[in-house]
Amino acid sequence: MKKSIVLCVCVVLLFGASLLFAGTPPKGEATKAKGGGPFTLAWVPKGLGHPYFISCYEGAKEAAKEFGDKIFEVGPDDWSVEGQITVIESVIDQKVNAIGIAANDMDALAPVCKKAMEAGIPVVAWDAAVNQSARVTFVNQASFEGIGRGLASAMGEVTGYKGEIAVLSATPQAPNQRKWLSWVMEELKDPKYKDVKLVDVVYGDDMTEKSYDKALGLIKAYPNLKGIIGLSAVATPAACAAVTDKGLIGELKIVGFGIPSTMKDYVLEGTCQKFLLWNTMDLGYVAATIMHKCCTGEFTGKVGETIKLGRPTMGEPDGVYEVTVGEDGDPYVLLGPPMEFDKSNIEKWAAIF
Amino acid sequence: MNSRSYKSRLRELVRRREFGIFIIIVIVMVLVGLRNPIFFTGDNWKDMLMYASILAFISIGQMMTIVTGGIDLSVGSVVALSGMSVGIIMRDNPALPPVVLILLGTVFGLGCGIINGLLIGKGKVHPLITTLATMSIYRGLVVVVSRSRWVVYGDITKGFKLIARGNILGINNLMFAALIIAVVSYYFLNHTRKGREIYAYGDHQEAAKFVGINSTRINILVYALSGMLAGFGGVLWVSRVHTAQANTALGYEMQTIASCVIGGVSIFGGVGSVFGVLLGTLLFGIILNSLELIGIVDFWKLSVQGFIILVAVIFDAVLSHRVAEQMRKQRRVFDAE
């Protein structure tokens, strides 16, 4: 008797604790009224609890509020492809009106996204694409070529175009990182990088400790290493932590992707010379606006179609976007050029996101 | 005479369960060191041991649960929860001395462990199911308490950074902590009544009941200890990598379980030693942190890791089987006489 009481109390306490913070679950009473609204939008990031995706969601919420739509965020807490498939299946069952997804894998998520499209739910990819066959469109934050070449030239600049460099990436199969890496390598073929040698590419799986240990490994394995390019918002600060610990600030330069608030102190201390990122809130805002317009039927994703936003963005001051053809031949919407952050502007942006 | 006692001592050593894994460690060390002499530098060893230290004492906690025939899948989540909570408290109160933060983290871990222990000991829920559930619950709580924000480099105070980087008696704090915990656990498990009861309970739960061992208390004890060590580890973890995130230590439970199994802890309970677990974590430290040095493409490293682990476990199994055979033969000779 006593045992079962203790058990019950424990279970209730735990359950209560998780419910207390969980808020109200999204309701699935989506209205099928095309053209009308309000709509229910499912926002699916690569995973939960990452400041990058939080700031994207902020922008998406802003757009949803404008249209009076209901938007909710749901993603895998283990950042896996399988987790995302499960999540998409559940939002299809909830009969949402549109799905916005940052895909963990381009091909693996295609079947389930196709299933959503067949059920009449438009799928808008943002941040990381799913296959063209399984989406209405893709909001690309920046062209892969621009990012890849931008990172390589930033590295060249800070190292004076000579010395050994290495790349710390996320996972080997992450679509964005793969494309950026290939453009980094393409840029390095330019004769002005003839004294720059890319010695290794390692993968930290977007986990901080693993990335940190991989960076330590690079520093040990290549004593003459002059620079590390961090290809994800986890990899770059992890590389900075390793460089700080080894007392190599200024000697070993770091460029890459980062989120201003997490990178602020590394930039001010001189560990990271320069990093790139697009305006993440704009990315969420554009994607959610397109999701709404897909629901009303105003947007179909054809090349040449234009979308008018409710406010200007950093990439398009007039707030008008046009569907163009991407590097891989599929239509997409390009957010604009990436922003560069360094000592001069980091404090201003760190306060924002 | 002297050489005979030396010989018999050597034989004693070979007979120990941990000898096989020790051999593997030496072989891997020699191979990596031959490819890249940087392996033998003090700097490399410091990095490696700092990594292995946290893994070592959390694995010792894990070992106690495995010795009772259970398992603690929630350690990774407890590391994250304790690290994140402490990180947030530090962000809001930068003036708090690091010692207080360490204590807080340890208490958080202890709390998580006691909940596991109560569910398993009092509630009689299977450890696998209990800790599988609390693993998700604690992980979920990490996202909740963090409000989806990371604890970042700038939030971490100087004193807190020193937890992982400072020294006591010339030894890095992390290694010092691991050493103390290993010695205390060794004494506790081998020389106290409660410690021996843990083994007895794991060896034969029914028999243990008949000799008056209180299974509820044993369960609460081991899971509380495992949680406490994980909570302590969470604080050190954040100090080591300068950041706490929602996916901190995701999948870490597998590393602790693997370290135990490599170190000769029987997954069926009743068998395992602190020394073996230390060797297991050392092997893990070497293969996870030194494979960068041998200059193979990153894609292959994971396979190489798995391969080394597999060889270690097989080698260990063959060796211990042979030793057991030999002992049986000797016993037969002894009986015949």
Report yes or no: B221 and B120 within 8 Å, Cβ to Cβ.
Answer: no
**Is A218's pLDDT higher than 50?**
yes
Provide the pLDDT confidence category of residue A30 given band limits of 50, 70 and 90: very low
Strand duo A331-334 + B171-172: pairing: unpaired
Residue of B nearest to A173 (CA): B299
The pLDDT value given to residue B99: 92
Classify residue A6: in a domain, yes or no.
no
Mean pLDDT in runs of 10 for chain B (337 residues)? 64 68 87 86 87 94 94 95 94 90 95 95 92 93 83 85 84 92 95 92 88 91 96 94 86 89 86 91 84 76 80 78 75 72
This complex has an ipTM of 0.76
Provide the pLDDT confidence category of residue A300 given band limits of 50, 70 and 90: confident
The pLDDT value given to residue B59: 96
Sheet holding A70-73, edge to edge: A70-73, A40-44, A98-101, A123-126, A137-140, A331-334, A320-325, A306-308
The pLDDT value given to residue B238: 93
Strand partners, A168: A202, A230
Classify residue A150: in a domain, yes or no.
yes
For chain A, positions 204-223, list CB contacts with chain B under 8 A.
206-209, 212-214, 216-218, 220-221, 223
Size of chain B in residues: 337
Range of A113's domain? 28-141+280-336
The one-character DSSP state at B70 is -
Q: Are residues A174 and A111 in the same domain?
A: no
Nearest 5°: the CA angle A271, A273, A277 is: 115
Classify residue A153: in a domain, yes or no.
yes
Q: Are residues A295 and A254 in the same domain?
A: no
SS3 A331: strand
Q: Are residues A229 and A164 in the same domain?
A: yes
d(CA B297, CA B74): 33
- Residue B115: CB atoms within 10 A of its CB come to 22
Q: Please, which residues have CB within 8 angstroms of residue B120's CB and are 6 or more apart in sequence?
A: B70, B126, B127, B130, B219, B220, B223
Strand duo A40-44 + A98-101: pairing: parallel
Of A14-23, A165-174, B84-93, the one with minimum mean pLDDT is A14-23
**Is A10's pLDDT higher than 70?**
no
CA–CA distances in Å: residue B274 to residues A46, A152, A195, B186: 40, 48, 51, 6
Nearest 5°: the CA angle A235, B37, A155 is: 30
Ramachandran region, residue A205 (left: φ > 0; alpha: ψ -120 to 50; beta: rest): left
Structural domains counted in chain A: 2
The pLDDT value given to residue B3: 59
Q: Are residues A174 and A232 in the same domain?
A: yes
- For B20-332, the fitting CATH number among 1.10.3470, 1.20.1440, 2.60.40, 1.25.40 is 1.10.3470
Q: Which of A2, A3, A10, A232 to mutate to test the interface with B (most CBs of B within 10 A)?
A: A10
* A181 contacts in chain B (CB < 8 Å): none
Nearest to A201 among B165, B293, B298 (CB): B298
The pLDDT value given to residue A144: 83
Could you read off the pLDDT of A90-122 as tens digits, one per residue?
999 999 999 999 998 888 999 999 999 998 899
Q: Are residues A70 and A185 in the same domain?
A: no
Q: Provide the token pair at A90.
A: 């559940």
d(CA B244, CA B61): 22
Q: Are residues A132 and A206 in the same domain?
A: no
**Is A32's pLDDT higher than 60?**
no
Q: Which helix (H) or strand (E) is B83 found in, with range?
A: helix B75-92
What CATH number should be reported for the domain holding residue A170? 3.40.50.2300
Classify residue A3: in a domain, yes or no.
no
CB of A128 within 8 Å of a chain B CB? The answer is no
Mean pLDDT over A233-255 rounds to 90
The pLDDT value given to residue A31: 40
d(CA A182, CA A177): 9
Of A81-90, A224-233, A299-308, B202-211, the one with minimum mean pLDDT is A299-308
Nearest to A213 among B51, B248, B249 (CB): B51
Nearest to B141 among A18, A79, A264 (CB): A18
Q: Are residues A284 and A136 in the same domain?
A: yes
Share of chain A above pLDDT 70, in %: 90
